A and B are shown apart, each in its own frame.
Chain A
């Protein structure tokens, strides 16, 4: 089975230690959420995994081939039409033009974009449509690992729910692994099979939660209730600064031994 294993990930920006001995595993078809407050090094971690950043130290084994990356902002190329933006990754893979345009058109339609809109440039599209294209761009390359860097944090509630549904549908169809980072617990509860809680200064993993209920069976009520339960967890409250206290910094930890899974 394809998997991503990360161990002993350390990173420093100048004198500041941003990530301290982070490790986790992600297996094909699973979705893993890294949750933590702003500034706990989540984005850095994701960039290290994607190879956009050279960490100070890391042991990584990555069997996944295709990679889809959805950024915090849509980050579309302003000089490419929506269609060409959707097909950017396909073009990089060398898919010939007619084929990639066909794929972009059908993907765009599945994401709720009209053919007219696909001819437009990003600045002519609303924020919601730009986010759809950003999601489409990540899905177009048929990734077996999807990296999501808080892509929904700036969207309104209605749009968020719509994009969650789209995302879940696509993941279910393609069976790709998802690595999601977010500061929104409820988002994590909604989308993830496992949640890793991160704490800042230095950024590290402090706790793992497992959600056993299949995503298709998660109701809104269950999501709210589970999020509420997590919010009452002491470590979560400390990590997000809702409660005074300190969380131990492991000198050097062996993943899986320090945090035993906690079933919710």
Chain B
């Protein structure tokens, strides 16, 4: 029998293997840095500071304690808006996918919502909620909701009828139908949608803050722009991108692999 020590060992090995596989992505990012540096050398540091100058500026901002509060505020807003859209979007999408009528009804609405530019939502939100916390949170929610909803609906719609028959023929109780049939299938649609929503949420929160609040990364970007401080602006961008990359590759991607391990070819 496989003991607990063996399990800990193989879990550690799996984590190490996963982290090590990140080198390919790092190589690609470093190549991008080379390109960035080239652009910086062509245009000069006033227009485009190079990666080193930007990282130094970011380090300085973190070191002086300037960056953390803003990052925390933006992260909180993102998580609130994103969390709400993940919960509500997934639940409603799954329900809509169960019924052909609901799917028919919601498809054009989703197209409409997806096509609506976030900046338009932002203007409406500013009119409705004013210049407070609610505006960015709402904008994030409404921008991510259709993505998650569409993914969930697609997942619920595409479940193989044959597998449903298997569940019926073997009299699977409803809890087992959920864990062994619906969730594993739906997850493979939900998680990519969640990842897309995560990317959207960060973009939208920074934009919303830039126009509607006095704190958060977006507001800080507005300040550095008004001071023509390109290095600080880039440093804020890098900080946001780093958070985004970390959230995707340390949280969602491992989750995706865990959920979709039955799809991977390279499982030993």
B168 touches A52 (CB 8 A): yes
A63-105 at interface with B (beta carbon < 8 Å): 67, 69, 71, 73, 75, 77-80, 88-89, 91-92
Partner of A51, one of B168, B172, B173, B261: B168
The answer to the question of A123 belonging to the interface, with a C-beta cut-off of 8 Å to chain B, is: yes
A73 touches B169 (CB 8 A): no
* Chain B residue contacts of A80, Cβ below 8 A: 180, 262
B172 touches A92 (CB 8 A): yes
Most buried by A among B170, B184, B265: B170
Report Cα–Cα, A75/B166, bound state, in Å: 7
Most buried by B among A47, A51, A79, A121: A79
Partner of B262, one of A47, A88, A123: A123
A79 touches B262 (CB 8 A): yes
A88 touches B184 (CB 8 A): no
Partner of B267, one of A51, A89, A124: A124
A77 touches B180 (CB 8 A): yes
A121 touches B165 (CB 8 A): no
Chain B nearest CB: distance from A179 CB in Å? 13
The answer to the question of B91 belonging to the interface, with a C-beta cut-off of 8 Å to chain A, is: no
The answer to the question of A188 belonging to the interface, with a C-beta cut-off of 8 Å to chain B, is: no
Chain B nearest CB: distance from A43 CB in Å? 10
Chain A nearest CB: distance from B44 CB in Å? 54
B263 touches A89 (CB 8 A): no
Fill in one digit per residue for B166-199: 1 if any A CB lies within 8 Å of its CB, else 0. 1011111100100011001100000000000000
The answer to the question of B162 belonging to the interface, with a C-beta cut-off of 8 Å to chain A, is: yes
The answer to the question of B228 belonging to the interface, with a C-beta cut-off of 8 Å to chain A, is: no
* Chain A residue contacts of B166, Cβ below 8 A: 69, 71, 75, 77, 88
A47 touches B165 (CB 8 A): yes
B169 touches A77 (CB 8 A): no
Chain B nearest CB: distance from A141 CB in Å? 7
Report Cα–Cα, A125/B81, bound state, in Å: 43
The answer to the question of B163 belonging to the interface, with a C-beta cut-off of 8 Å to chain A, is: yes
Report Cα–Cα, A253/B170, bound state, in Å: 33
Report Cα–Cα, A154/B173, bound state, in Å: 31
B165 touches A79 (CB 8 A): no
- Known A-B contacts: A50-B168, A52-B168, A92-B173. Give 16 more (CB < 8 A): A51-B168, A52-B165, A67-B169, A69-B169, A75-B162, A75-B166, A77-B163, A79-B180, A88-B180, A91-B180, A92-B170, A92-B176, A120-B267, A123-B262, A124-B265, A124-B267
Listed from nearest, the 7 A-B pairs whose CB atoms lie closest are: A79-B184, A69-B169, A79-B262, A121-B262, A89-B170, A92-B172, A75-B162
Residues of B within 8 A of A (CB): 162-163, 165-166, 168-173, 176, 180-181, 184-185, 261-263, 265, 267
15 A–B pairs (Cβ distance < 8 Å), ordered by A:
A51-B168, A52-B165, A52-B168, A67-B171, A69-B170, A71-B162, A75-B163, A77-B163, A77-B184, A88-B170, A92-B170, A121-B261, A123-B262, A123-B263, A124-B267
